[in-house]
Amino acid sequence: MVSDEGVVVGEDGLARPVWASRDPLLRDYYDTEWGMPVRDERGMFERISLEAFQSGLSWATILRKRPAFREAFRGFDPDVVAGFDADDVARLMADAGIVRNRRKINATIGNARATVALRDDGGLVDLVWSFRPPTTPEPVTFADVPTVSDESKALAKELRRRGFAHVGPTTMFALMEAIGVVDTHLVGSHRRGTSGVWC
């Protein structure tokens, strides 16, 4: 049932947004992972990579393919991916388990190299978290959830300056939501405020 807060109360009595209420995979992701802080380099690189691959596709598609992505990109170890060459690109383009988009594959390899280069200047994690806004949205319904912010625009600009690709403002806002930099859980959701970042 949909409540006045724009959430769906499941059989377990927990309130979630509609997108996380039907598919068991999305429900588990929402309940355990989405919006929780990511503060390690490999985790951050993986999230940026998967957000880039998601562009134009559903997040459910990416989640279903995530095990294959992790295998294909060697656990998203930036040092390993930074060393990928033309043979690796050919291997990835032949891998039906992932999204076979040459531009996104090349961007992921380039982003790995940019991630490694950032270590001399504070690192990827600190850079992304430095764009945490002073306040977070408080959406009541899905229509209230923004898709971009001044901070996501600034983050996208800075990442591009640092050599990253496929990191537009909308993609970076989705990243910021996914890793807890902002909390866009609906106000009526059981997950609102659970990240420990926003109280």
59 catalytically annotated: yes
29 catalytically annotated: yes
Interatomic CA distance for residues 185 and 89, integer angstroms:
37
Interatomic CA distance for residues 44 and 61, integer angstroms:
20
H or E stretch at 9:
strand 8-9
Tell me what pLDDT residue 1 has. Answer: 39
> Which residues are registered as beta bridge partners of 15?
9
Identified catalytic residue from 34, 41, 46, 51: 51
pLDDT over 70 at 49, yes or no: yes
Q: Tens digits of per-residue pLDDT, 158-170?
A: 999 999 999 999 9
pLDDT-wise least confident of 8-22, 98-112, 150-164, 169-183: 8-22
pTM recorded for the entire structure:
0.94
Identified catalytic residue from 30, 41, 46, 59: 59
Is-contact 14 27, C-beta < 8 A? no
